[in-house]
Amino acid sequence: MKDLYALFRFSLAGLRVMVVATLVLGVAYPLLVTGVAQVALPWRADGSLVTATGAHTTDPDEAVGSSLLGQLVDDPGLFQPRPSAAGDGYDTLATYGSNYGPESPDLVAAVKERQAEIAEREGVSTGEVPPDAVTASGSGLDPHVSEAYAALQVPRVAAANGLTEDVVRRLVDEHTDGRTLGVLGEPRVDVLALNIAVTQAARD
């Protein structure tokens, strides 16, 4: 009987600990963090959404995308993102890379195919196609392209939108982010924001 009573006491104590931990760590803490984030950084807390005017927003009804996530671009007259191995492409529910090694025959074949397609689309030789134009990112959701890939697309985008190449290059420069903390990574171009700017410039 004493053993049964002791077991009951230990079980009840464990249950109390679990309930308290659930309330503190599963309810109170997330609510606190969410509340602080909404006050301090509402744009980031709501997913870093971007409107069709390129402005940051906390209203998802006005959003055309997120500054954190790449997306497929259906319009051939706009800047194209890098390839994506996430699902059918930029699928946030299936984010991953191809997992192909550098000597994988499948990767080599895919790269050569992409090089040929991009070279034909941009009117250049395959040797002028930069690496990020033919390889997917590790997440498959990279929202940026390199300066080299953006520069390669300038003539096509300018012609398709009735803009001069100088105007489009200026837009590329305006939407190029520098190295993180000034030293990490390489300069990169925000494809979504750039395409919004190109569309607006073509309408003006």
Report if residue 149 sits inside a domain. yes
Residue 47 included in any domain: no
Question: Is 46 contained in some domain?
Answer: no
| Tens-place pLDDT, residues 16-41 | 878 888 888 888 788 777 667 566 65
Higher-pLDDT residue of 181 and 133 is 133
Per residue in 53-77, pLDDT (tens digit) is: 765 655 656 778 888 898 999 999 9
Does 97 share its domain with 141?
yes
pLDDT recorded at residue 7: 66
7 and 75 belong to one structural domain? no
Provide the pLDDT for residue 61. 61
User: Residue 43: is its pLDDT beyond 60?
Assistant: no
* Domain coverage including residue 31: 2-40
Alpha-carbon span 81 to 90, nearest angstrom: 10
Which residues, 6 or more positions from 146, have their beta carbon under 8 angstroms from its beta carbon?
Answer: 130, 131, 132, 133, 186, 187, 188, 189
Q: What is the mean pLDDT of residues 169-179?
A: 95
Confidence (pLDDT) at 40: 60
Instruction: Count how many Cα atoms sit within 13 Å of the Cα of residue 42 in the half-sphere of its side chain.
Output: 6
pTM above 0.85, yes or no: no
Look at the chain and report how many structural domains it folds into. 2
